Structure 1
Amino acid sequence: MRITAPTHTARIALALAVAALAGTSACSAEPAKGSPAGDAKSGGTVVQVAAAESFWGSIAGQLGGEHVKVTSIISNPDADPHDYEPTAADGRTVAGARYVITNGAGYDAWSDKLIAANPATGRGALKVGDLVGVKEGGNPHQWYSPESVHKVIEQITADLKKLDPADAAYFDQQKATYLGSTLAPYDKLVADIKATYADTPIGASESIVTPLAEGLGLKLLTPESFLDATSEGTDPTAADKAAIDAQIKGKQIKVYVYNTQNDTPDIKAQVDAAKAQGIPVATVTETPTPADAPFQDWQITELQGLAAALKQATGK
């Protein structure tokens, strides 16, 4: 639940102050004690990881296994990472972390302030936007890009090996298991959809669908300005809405994909219009649903839904 007082500026100041006070605890990974979840069962090092968003935190936790303890700052599906107001507890989380993962690309600028309030020697940091070459103003929703997801997996593993070199072989094995088994159904769905439905025209409600469509080889017809407006919470233009209405009415799109966590009146009208025209509708969410779903389970469910909609629309 979001607290309405104090003000946004005061809340960030409080979180930064707490982070600064807690900074002395962030200098090294903790030795494992063997009992709480997240401690290494065989002893050794547990790297404290702070992830700004739970989708990246989920991947880090699975790659790090018993040698990491991950705390994700945003895990509530009702929280909007764009305008999230960090708490004092968030400041303590970042202050105590030896590795911090943020999305970047303008998506979670508040996290930069938390990190800056507590500079720590030897701390590792991953900003996904910088890793994949997406700057502020570009599409920040790179957890929907299969290519970017794989780059993040490689980088997290490399970073953990630097932070805890004694367990490097363990991290390599964790990555091999994650890619070879855990994430394999996700990769297969991506490959199968691309092979079967490449260039199929689709419509979408907002820009989180863009990296997914690109990764799957689908042709996204919705005007980019409309997708961005919905994602950023601004009013779309009448021209864009008219263009989408024409696409739906003329069945220029085969499937409509929308984010159920951001169903504005305009989006609801488009969904209803698509259904009325017999156009299958698939859904996605910006953050994992349910909140504790592992990254791959969440994404596989959505990909299965999209594949079913594409099959219904094309008969393939």
Structure 2
Amino acid sequence: MSPLSVRVPRSVRRTVRIALGAAVAVVTAATATACSTSSPKTANAGDAASTGGGSGKTVQVVAGENFWGSIASQLGGSHVKVTSVITNPDTDPHDYEPTAADARTVAGAQYAIVNGIGYDAWADKLLASNPGSGRTELKVGDLVGITPGGNPHRWYSPADVHKVIEKISADYKKIDPADAAYFDQQKTTFETKSLAGYNNLIADIKAKYAGTPIGASESIVTPLSDGLGLKMLTPETFLDAMSEGTDPTAKDKAAIDDQIKNKQIKVYVYNSQNSTPDVQTQVKAAKDAGIPVATVTETLAPAGATFQQWQTTELQGIEQALAKATGK
């Protein structure tokens, strides 16, 4: 399937979680190599400079999702080896079933990065079932102060992304103090060069289109909308329902239909990796009404892209849609 293929609706797959506790127990006890649709892979080091030198130490890092893994890899350069568990764009991180290989990776990691906020509960169970001696753990939700029940899609919040960058760099220096200067260099390069296009697009969109009303298919778009200064008109109850795989109410669907029909929204943004029949209907209605449509995805697409390549492409699409809609 292509990165933009439609997944099976989450509501169909929520039953996976019923057996998740048992799956983790099996994973922990397993010794044979297991395979999955998203077997762990080392994240691309990306654009940040990697000059080597220092202690020669390599920190073993595991990331629950490849968007955090990409950032971690670029910040660590040649002094880290990052393995991301979720790497396949067709895999839903909400409902992932860990493998024996995942358990071994977690058990051997010196540093673990998970999203938290209920997004990757399987990762919390893997960490608890595979305690590592002296392992440092970063839960993004805890870092940014979002508790379970809040919006878990923090990689779409520019402010939270920068908080994660600061924390990962600080943790690397604590784990490997001999290479602190190297990690500082990596962070500076990443923030000033690798993320330059990402940062500039965010600033430009906010300056030019702040306050523009938009609609969206689910809550994954909300942190980005907030970061760009856009006005989300889609009912929050609809956004949350689509993200959680539950059925939206007829009232919410009618409200969205009215927003599209009367062009109350200027742009419609949808997650093409979670395109349910309701979302497909809204996308078609928006296009028929002449409302520009932009897409985002839940994980790196294509899978080998860096965080900034992925996000910059999406931001360019949103910027183009806003320009078309507003004439600015």
The TM-score normalised by the length of structure 2 is 0.87
What's the CA shift for 1:120? Answer: 2.5
Moved more, 9-18 or 44-53: 9-18
Corresponding residue of 1:58: 70
Asked if structure 2 preserves the Cα contact closer than 8 Å seen for 1:17 and 1:117, the reply is: no
| 1:181 aligned counterpart, secondary structure | helix
Asked if structure 2 preserves the Cα contact closer than 8 Å seen for 1:18 and 1:92, the reply is: no
How many angstroms apart in 2 are the aligned matches of 1:54 and 1:274? 31
Asked if structure 1 preserves the Cα contact closer than 8 Å seen for 2:55 and 2:179, the reply is: no
From 285, 293, 314, the equivalent of 2:305 is 293
Asked if structure 1 preserves the Cα contact closer than 8 Å seen for 2:214 and 2:265, the reply is: yes
From 178, 196, 199, the equivalent of 2:190 is 178
| 1:261 aligned counterpart, secondary structure | coil
C-alpha deviations, 1:157-194, integer Å up to 9, x for none? Answer: 00000000000000000000000100011000000000
Q: Return 5+ residue gaps in structure 1 as ranges.
A: 20-37
What's the CA shift for 1:112? Answer: 1.0
Corresponding residue of 1:128: 140
Asked if structure 2 preserves the Cα contact closer than 8 Å seen for 1:48 and 1:97, the reply is: yes
Matches within 5 A, 1:34-53: 44-53=56-65
Does residue 94 (structure 1) correspond to residue 106 (structure 2)? The answer is yes
From 70, 74, 79, the equivalent of 1:67 is 79
Amino acid paired to 2:252? D
How many angstroms apart in 2 are the aligned matches of 1:9 and 1:42? 42
Amino acid paired to 1:196? K
Corresponding residue of 1:154: 166
| 1:50 aligned counterpart, secondary structure | strand
How many angstroms apart in 2 are the aligned matches of 1:303 and 1:103? 22
What's the CA shift for 1:14? Answer: 1.7
| 1:289 aligned counterpart, secondary structure | coil
C-alpha deviations, 1:263-296, integer Å up to 9, x for none? Answer: 1110011001001110000000001100111000
How many angstroms apart in 2 are the aligned matches of 1:75 and 1:274? 31
What's the CA shift for 1:16? Answer: 2.2
What's the CA shift for 1:245? Answer: 0.1
How many angstroms apart in 1 are the aligned matches of 2:60 and 2:30? 18
From 197, 212, 230, the equivalent of 1:218 is 230
Does residue 227 (structure 1) correspond to residue 250 (structure 2)? The answer is no
Corresponding residue of 2:291: 279
How many angstroms apart in 1 are the aligned matches of 2:94 and 2:271? 15
C-alpha deviations, 1:65-95, integer Å up to 9, x for none? Answer: 0000000000111111111110000001101
Corresponding residue of 1:23: none
| 1:100 aligned counterpart, secondary structure | strand
Matches within 5 A, 1:233-248: 233-248=245-260
How many angstroms apart in 2 are the aligned matches of 1:154 and 1:284? 25
Question: Structure 1 segments of 4 or more deviating over 4 A?
Answer: 38-43
Amino acid paired to 1:102? V
How many angstroms apart in 2 are the aligned matches of 1:283 and 1:303? 9
How many angstroms apart in 1 are the aligned matches of 2:80 and 2:302? 23
Asked if structure 2 preserves the Cα contact closer than 8 Å seen for 1:51 and 1:100, the reply is: yes
| 1:273 aligned counterpart, secondary structure | helix
How many angstroms apart in 2 are the aligned matches of 1:172 and 1:39? 12
How many angstroms apart in 2 are the aligned matches of 1:18 and 1:129? 30
Does residue 166 (structure 1) correspond to residue 178 (structure 2)? The answer is yes
- For these two proteins, the number of residue pairs brought into alignment is 294
What's the CA shift for 1:39? Answer: 12
| 2:295 aligned counterpart, secondary structure | strand
What's the CA shift for 1:133? Answer: 0.5
Asked if structure 1 preserves the Cα contact closer than 8 Å seen for 2:116 and 2:142, the reply is: yes
The TM-score normalised by the length of structure 1 is 0.90
Identity %: 70
Corresponding residue of 1:118: 130
C-alpha deviations, 1:42-64, integer Å up to 9, x for none? Answer: 76100000000000000000000
Superposition RMSD on alpha carbons, in Å? Answer: 1.7
